[in-house]
């Protein structure tokens, strides 16, 4: 399952513009929130400057960056925000570009919208579970007890994030997800500029910018808040980057590539991408003793190039 992030923000804060910048999907931008607006779903490639040099070394026919699923929901109603329950993290867009932006006030409004959406969700789930509990089954009755206690905490002005009791797992509250704030404007991430640059060929966009893309910073913040790492697979067909949670094993990495590869896992050759790029070939890296053979339990390190030996 690819990592998934949801974009939230007040109307016209630039959510869809940021979505386009991240995914290059060219979704329609409207100055007003129209009722016909649908959630946008796309994949955002993650730039990594090691990928092309790695592909050159193995003469890979294709270079594939790692990607994140991005979901852009219009508006902040509880039902719409409910589409975000399964995301791993939230990107909160705050207007920093309009003539008199007020990020502090927008941030607070958005925080309350998320709180409200969670409260609404707890109430709805409580109603449903209460109906199920009438059947006398033990699970809904137990969850109802938990939900009643949580609802009382929320009614008393508390938030899910500061609740000391048990939060039923199925609830997936929005307010406890990692949240990365993006101020959209010249002082933060200029989403409109980035969306325009995303339409240009890579080199032209790079030439236009003075430094790295502001979107790279967004991705870095996402990586650090979710504690993710990148690993690579490099062969003649494809050089590819993948994401993994820090601490996950070579077997987890294999499963991210393909379930068959995980099932037939034998061993895994490991080289640091920096070593492969520096020495220019697997043979040269091996000669220097910089290639290792690891088992399923090996904890993958950021920047590892993995070659899983498997049989099916
Ligand atoms: N000047 C400027 N305009 C922006 C920026 N981001 C969005 N806009 C404009 O603000 C309006 C609303 O943007 P949109 O992405 O549709 O906002 P959403 O309602 O949050 O999805 C559009 O007219 C955009 O062109 C920005 O960074 N700078
Ligand atoms: Mg929009």
Residue nearest to atom 14 of ligand 1 (CA): 14
Residues 75 and 218 in one domain: yes
Domain containing 96 equals 4-49+67-100+177-224
Task: Tell me, letter by letter, the H, E, C secondary structure of 159-182.
Answer: CHHHCCCCCCHHHCCCCCCCEEEE
Residues 28 and 123 in one domain: no
| Residue 258 within a domain | yes
Residues 81 and 210 in one domain: yes
| Atom from ligand 1 closest to the CA of residue 190 | 27
Closest ligand to the CA of 40: 2
Least confident of 46-55, 98-107, 146-155, 204-213: 204-213
Average pLDDT value for residue range 69-95: 89
| Atom from ligand 1 closest to the CA of residue 185 | 27
| Residue 141 within a domain | yes
3-state secondary structure of 279: helix
> What digits encode the pLDDT tens for the residues 127-172?
999 999 998 888 999 999 999 999 999 999 888 989 999 898 889 9
pLDDT of residue 32: 60
Query: Which secondary structure element, helix H or strand E, spans residue 9, and what is its range?
Result: strand 4-9
Identify residues whose C-beta is under 5 A from ligand 2, the ion.
Answer: 15-16, 74
Q: Is the CB of 214 under 6 A from ligand 1?
A: no
- Measured distance CA(51)–CA(134) in Å, rounded: 57
pLDDT of residue 246: 97
User: Hunting for tokens 């790029």 — which residue is that?
Assistant: 277
| Residue 160 within a domain | yes
Closest ligand to the CA of 18: 1
Residues 82 and 113 in one domain: no
Cα of 98 vs centre of ligand 1, distance in Å, is 9
Residues 71 and 202 in one domain: yes
pLDDT of residue 245: 95
Number of folded domains that form the chain: 3
Query: Which secondary structure element, helix H or strand E, spans residue 90, and what is its range?
Result: strand 89-95
Residues 14 and 108 in one domain: no
Cα of 30 vs centre of ligand 1, distance in Å, is 8
Residue nearest to atom 13 of ligand 1 (CA): 14
Cα of 282 vs centre of ligand 1, distance in Å, is 47
Residues 187 and 81 in one domain: yes
| Residue 56 within a domain | no
- Measured distance CA(308)–CA(291) in Å, rounded: 13
> Which carries the bigger pLDDT value, residue 64 or residue 74?
64
Residues 208 and 190 in one domain: yes
Residue 10 has pLDDT above 90, yes or no: yes
Candidate of 17, 71, 195 to mutate for ligand 1, largest count of ligand atoms within 8 Å of Cβ: 17
Residue 36 has pLDDT above 70, yes or no: no
pLDDT of residue 31: 64
Q: What is the CATH number of the domain that holds 155?
A: 1.10.150
- Predicted model pTM: 0.91
Q: What is the CATH number of the domain that holds 11?
A: 3.40.50.300
Residues 94 and 186 in one domain: yes
| Residue 238 within a domain | no
Q: Which of these three, 146, 171, 196, is where a domain ends?
A: 171
Residues 149 and 34 in one domain: no
Q: Is 159 exposed, middle or buried (0-12, 13-18, 19+ CB in 10 A)?
A: middle
pLDDT of residue 76: 77
> What digits encode the pLDDT tens for the residues 100-119?
999 999 999 999 999 999 99
Residues 124 and 201 in one domain: no
User: Hunting for tokens 């393909």 — which residue is that?
Assistant: 258
pLDDT of residue 1: 64
pLDDT of residue 169: 84
Residues 80 and 19 in one domain: yes
Q: How confident is the model at residue 195 (pLDDT cuts 50, 70, 90)?
A: very high
Average pLDDT value for residue range 8-17: 94
């Amino acid at each position: 399952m690819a990592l998934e992030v949801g974009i939230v923000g007040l109307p016209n804060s630039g959510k869809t513009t940021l979505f386009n910048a991240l995914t290059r999907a060219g979704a329609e931008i409207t100055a007003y929130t129209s009722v016909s607006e649908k959630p946008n779903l796309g994949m955002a490639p993650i730039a990594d400057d090691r990928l092309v040099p790695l592909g050159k070394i193995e003469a890979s026919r294709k270079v594939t960056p790692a990607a994140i699923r991005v979901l852009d929901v219009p508006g902040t109603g509880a039902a719409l925000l409910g589409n975000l329950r399964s995301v791993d993290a939230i990107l909160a867009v705050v207007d920093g570009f309009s003539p008199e932006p007020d990020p502090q006030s927008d941030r607070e409004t958005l925080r309350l919208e998320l709180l409200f959406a969670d409260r609404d969700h707890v109430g709805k789930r409580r109603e449903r579970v209460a109906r199920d509990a009438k059947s006398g089954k033990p699970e809904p009755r137990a969850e109802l007890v938990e939900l009643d206690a949580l609802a009382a905490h929320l009614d008393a002005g508390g938030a899910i994030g500061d609740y000391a009791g048990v939060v039923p797992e199925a609830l997936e509250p929005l307010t406890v997800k990692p949240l990365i704030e993006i101020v959209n404007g010249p002082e933060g991430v200029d989403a409109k500029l980035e969306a325009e640059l995303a339409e240009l060929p890579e080199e032209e966009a790079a030439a236009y910018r003075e430094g790295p893309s502001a979107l790279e910073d967004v991705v870095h913040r996402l990586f650090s808040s979710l504690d993710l790492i990148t690993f690579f697979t490099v062969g003649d067909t494809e050089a590819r980057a993948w994401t993994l949670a820090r601490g996950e094993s070579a077997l987890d990495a294999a499963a991210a590539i393909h379930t068959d590869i995980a099932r037939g896992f034998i061993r895994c050759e490991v080289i640091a991408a920096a070593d492969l790029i520096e020495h220019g070939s697997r043979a040269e890296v091996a000669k220097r003793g910089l290639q290792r053979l690891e088992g399923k339990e090996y904890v993958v390190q950021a920047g590892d190039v993995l070659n899983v030996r498997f049989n099916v």
